[in-house]
Amino acid sequence: MKRFAIWILLFGLSSATFAAIDAPTGRVVLTVSGAIDHTNVPERPLAQFDLAMLKQLPAHEITTHNPWEEGEHHYVGFNPKDLLALLKSRGDLIRLTAFNQYITEIPMSDFEDWDTIIAYEMDGKPIPVRNKGPLMVIYNFDQHPELRNEAYYGRSIWQIQSLKVMEP
């Protein structure tokens, strides 16, 4: 009874939009913060995702070479536009941080202009951390040769851990 009362209290204190999205049940692979209206972590302005949740977003595929991998590879992932829509975010710039604390900022327009994705699958398999997974930004360098420069290589972050939507 006491525990039940505490849950009621916690629920009452949390923001109105808390739990508008499900909470993760599997290992958390992405933590989203910043200018988002929907959260799923009690008492914290964060939205956390396991792989199954990310796979519920519309899936997009890219087959391309890239500068740090030999040969052509097939990637499947989501478009962050759909993630931000789910979180009722109107940001136009995201900051991504990797396990090694590498940070890059990407304008949301990249995800419209170039059909860029955050990939969770490479060549039909989840991407192990030791092979730059579980999440990496993939530009279609084959289809858009104009992207083959340091600006877009630098945005091609791997081992993504968190995503912050910057205030518009």
Ligand X SMILES: Nc1nc2c(c(=O)[nH]1)N[C@H]1C(S)=C(S)[C@@H](COP(=O)(O)O)O[C@H]1N2
Distance separating alpha carbons of residues 144 and 116, to the nearest angstrom: 11
Using a 10 angstrom Cβ sphere, with 0-12 exposed, 13-18 middle and 19 or more buried, the burial of residue 15 is: middle
**In Å, what is the CA distance from 35 to each residue of 23, 46, 55, 93, 156?**
19, 10, 22, 10, 22
Rank residues 69 and 167 by Cβ distance to ligand X and give the closer one.
69
- What spatial distance separates the first Cα and last Cα of the chain, rounded to whole Å? 44
Give the range of 13-21, 87-95, 114-122, 153-161 binding ligand X by CB under 6 A.
153-161
Residue type, 2: K
Please list every residue from 107 through 166 that binds Mo ion, using CB under 5 A: 154
Is residue 11 at the binding interface for ligand X, with CB under 6 A as the rule?
no
Residue 11 binds which entry of Mo ion, ligand X, none, CB below 5-8 Å type-dependent: none
Rank residues 128 and 154 by Cβ distance to Mo ion and give the closer one.
154
What element of type H or E holds 31? strand 28-34
| Contact flags string 91-130 toward ligand X, x per CB under 6 A | -------x-x-x----------------------------
Residues that bind ligand X (CB under 6 A): 68, 98, 100, 102, 150, 153-154, 156-159
